[in-house]
Amino acid sequence: MKKKALITGITGQDGAYLAELLLSKGYEVHGIKRRSSLFNTDRIDHLYQDPHETEVSFIMHYGDLTDSANLIRIIQQVQPDEIYNLGAMSHVKVSFDTPEYTANADGIGTLRILEAVRLLGLGEKTRIYQASTSELYGLVQEVPQSEKTPFYPRSPYAVAKLYGYWITVNYREAYNMFACNGILFNHESPLRGETFVTRKITRGVSKIVQGMQSSLFLGNLDAKRDWGHAKDYVEAMYLILQQDTPEDFVIATGITTTVRDFVKMSFAEAGVEVEFKGEGVNEKGYIVSCSNPEYQLETGKEVVSIDPRYFRPTEVELLIGDPTKSMTKLGWKPKYDLQMLVQDMMAADLELFRREKTLKDLGYSIKNQYE
Q: Least separation, in Å, of the C-beta of 311 and ligand NDP?
A: 20
Nearest to 245 by CA among 119, 145, 329: 329
Clarify whether 157 is annotated catalytic. yes
**From 22, 44, 105, 270, residue interacting with ligand NDP (rule: CB under 6 A):** 105
CB of 155 to ligand NDP, least distance (A): 11
Region of 34-42, 110-118, 242-250, 353-361 interacting with ligand NDP (CB under 6 A): 34-42
Active site residue 129: no
323 binds ligand NDP (CB under 6 A): no
Q: How many CB atoms lie within 10 A of CB 232?
A: 19
Would you count residue 14 as binding ligand NDP (CB under 6 A)? yes
Q: Closest distance between ligand NDP and the C-beta of residue 45, in Å?
A: 13
Q: Which of 29, 60, 75, 131 binds ligand NDP (CB under 6 A)?
A: 131
Q: How far apart are CA 326 and CA 312, in angstroms?
A: 31
Q: Are 19 and 27 in contact (CB under 8 A)?
A: no
Rg (CA), the chain: 21
Residue 135 annotated to the active site: yes
Q: Which is nearer to ligand GDR, 86 or 350 (CB)?
A: 86
CB nearer ligand NDP, residue 81 or residue 135: 135
Q: Which of 27, 129, 157, 171 is catalytic?
A: 157
Smallest gap from Cβ 346 to ligand NDP, in A, equals: 18
Size of the site for ligand NDP (CB under 6 A): 26
How far is 27 from 29, CA to CA, in rounded Å?
6
Handedness of CA 321, 324, 327, 330 (dihedral sign): negative
Distance, in Å, from the CA atom of 221 to the CA atom of 234, rounded to the nearest integer, reads 28
The distance of closest approach from Cβ of residue 294 to ligand GDR in the complex, given in angstroms and rounded to an integer, is 27
195 binds, among ligand NDP, ligand GDR, none (CB under 5 to 8 A by kind): ligand GDR
Describe the crossing of helices 197-209 and 259-269 by its angle, rounded to 10 degrees.
40
Q: How far apart are alpha carbons 13 and 44 in whole angstroms?
A: 9
Angle between helices 197-209 and 338-361 (to 10 degrees): 50
Decide which of ligand GDR, ligand NDP, none touches 34; Cβ closer than 5 to 8 Å per partner kind: ligand NDP
Give per-residue burial for 344-370: e unless 16+ CB within 10 Å, then b: bbbebbbeebeebbeeeeeeeeeeeee
The window from 76-84, 85-93, 204-212, 254-262 that contacts ligand NDP (CB under 6 A) reads 85-93
Single out the catalytic residue among 126, 133, 198, 257.
133
Distance CA 355, CA 126 (A): 45
Nearer to ligand GDR, 133 or 181 (CB): 133
Note the residues at the interface with ligand NDP (CB under 6 A).
Answer: 8-9, 11-15, 32, 34, 36, 40, 64-66, 86-90, 105, 131, 133, 184, 186-187, 193
The residues carrying an active-site annotation are 133, 135, 157
